[in-house]
Structure 1
Amino acid sequence: QAQHFEIIGLERLLDNSLESVNEVHTSVDDEAEQETIHHESTKNALEESGEDCTGSLRNAFYFSKTAFDFLTNVASSFFGAHDSTSSSSITADPQYQIVKSADLHSSAEEFSVVELVMQTEKPQLPSENDVKIFDVVVDCSDHHFVKERGHENVKRGWLKKIQQEWTILQNDLPDDIHVRVYEERMDLLRACIVGAAGTPYHDNLFFFDIFFPPDYPHEPPSVHYHSGGLRLNPNLYETGKVCLSLLKTWAGTGNEVWNPEGSTVLQLLLSLQALVLNEKPYFNEAGYDKFVGKADGEKNSITYNENAFLLSCKSMMYILHKPPKHFEKFVKEHFTCRAPHILEACNAYLGGDLIGHARDSTYISDDGCKGCSTGFKIMLGKLLPKLVAAFCEAGIACGQ
């Protein structure tokens, strides 16, 4: 369905309609001539609609076909209406029925076009600026695996599997994971995961470049994390290496390891979101899971979360300065929307709230801790002005 700015010939229609309206006004010298024109336009409207409206002539106010089409297009322009602009489809749709005199003021001639348009129901449509969750793009020049070879001589089974992956992603991606695939390189993919609430990564964006090897799915894909040189998670290295059992870069058993028959890229992305970028990443470190629930382990986890949030804020500044290709618009819109919440959380942490639990004074950690450390508050106090400056430099109003 075409948006209003895609309607071809709208300017010509507007010009023709305005000329018609001007001709009517200049030709009316007295009430007798105006009455004649009114009856002629009524006759034309009846001929166009092809319906028997004789019984309601005394109660209805009609436009000429040109003016009526003009009104409908104006309505489409203002409110994004997608219905056909033909007179027959308009007559059948109750939203665009001819306005009756009982609903108008005493003088229908005094009713402006805009006032008539305002009487129509305004359909609620998505913003034109909405960014697609899944999209096929061109130009993979900044992809980490762009120099990988093998995609030129892939087998038919490989192509079929990649197409299946695309279909799954297109249909089942959650709102907080965005994916771009490449028209000229089906072996490459780029994904963005939004940090979940309740974690030290909340509201940040995490980008991953993915490569499908020629023997995929018998071997898992290769994944590179856009780290910006920061180590903010035990599983995500400064070099971009991702440690995950599903990728065979971490120990695992059963459903944790890659299965050529059932594992998918969507499963991989959901695992990164839930198992890596989680509420207590400290325990992701090998062997640390045995300290879960113990006082020392929980205390260390809080300290790790404080450092992870500081690094996450630095990561935001890096992403704002250099967003990955094909995600520039999404980065700007995401942080425009979330910047007030991020800064509000920072102020809450400066006030003592625990990381991931801003404005939740009732939350107490497993070791009984209720607030952030003094050292963290000092570091965040120094970092916060830089984060605000990064938002402002990107054209994002943050109110601070």
Structure 2
Amino acid sequence: MNAVKQSFKVEANSFAKSTQHVQMALYNCTLNLEEFTLPHDTFNIQQFFLLLFPAGFHQFRINETAMTEPIPDMILNVTYEDGKWSKPYFDCGGANIWMITYTVPFFGYDNSSGKYFFKGTSGIDIDLRRVDIDQCPLPDNSTELNIFAGSDKCKNATTMCVPIKGLGFRRGSYRCICKDGFYFPNVSSPHKYYNGTLLEEEYEKKFDSNGTSYYDWEGTFQCLQCPAGCDSCVDDRPCVVSLNWLMRSAILILQCAIILMLPIVGLFTFKYSDVKVVRAASPVLLRFIVLGAFFIYCTILVMYPSPSVITCTLRVWLREIGFSLAYGALMLKTWRISVIFRVRSAKAIKITDLDLMKRLGIIVAMFTALLVIRTLVAPPAAIVSLTADDLKAWLCKTDWWDHSFTLSKYLSFSASF
């Protein structure tokens, strides 16, 4: 409706400028001829009024290219702002259509009294059948004036209103489409929306004692929720890959059984630490290997539920710390044997378990420092990946930090041998 008024205003002002109409400043005044002194040969009543009131002019077209000279008129001119818009109304018994009227006054001049007087009004009727009604809610922070906004009958819980242009001044000029996360119940229908006209009819039947409305029936004019994990969907097919929980549970039980056996191995190194074979294998380092294996096996436990930032971070820390303990102790044991057998002098070289533990502490400290830097700079994150069937799968992101850890471990342990 505002667009109609604005367009009409532009046309009205454009017409006023093209015909050189100027709004009068005085609507009701008395002329005093004694206040004006003009040469007798140049004085006439029209020129006098043109000096006092900047009245308009008339021009008549002679042909397609020529017009007459402007002829001043004695009519008090009005502009668009002097008019008034009516409210929309139904012209019952006349055109039987919805319309809106713009009315402006016009004035005459009384030569005897020297005053302008009101003579009547002139109006234009605008057919609203070509003016669209937008019943959909206005966007947030919108300053548009729309008295029909929010009068749609869409079920806002699962659907949203989309206006349809070009249907004219009528209710139901909108569609109720499914919101994100919902899908149209009739998956075989070529039109995935509810027609606004049908909703308006069913809503009106609620107030008709002779009619039966199913507007308020549960599930009618509603969309169905998509399966879990789907941002959008067209039917009830899953969007997330189905995990084989039976196999995952079997692997989890196996991992738990191995983890429960590790304390037994640790107790074995304490109980039989005096046995020659166990003593030669350095029981202290064996316990560090068992501790590292415990951390490595625990990565399976933290990855059993759905990945998250916490579980992905724990996975990296348990894996790297466990690797540094288990393989660091194993590498140091091998390094000590290698040093002893490569000695060419008669002097014995003694490398105690305490010396190896100090070196193991340095290795673990280096891995810990790298993990702290990695966690602060680029913390592990859970991402959504797609399978070959376009199904979502939540995974822990693998980036160049993981590849750097793998490469550094390979190079460090290769150099030690």
Q: Compute the TM-score of the two structures, normalised by the length of structure 2.
A: 0.21
Higher helix share: 1
Higher relative contact order (CA 8 A, sep 6+): 1
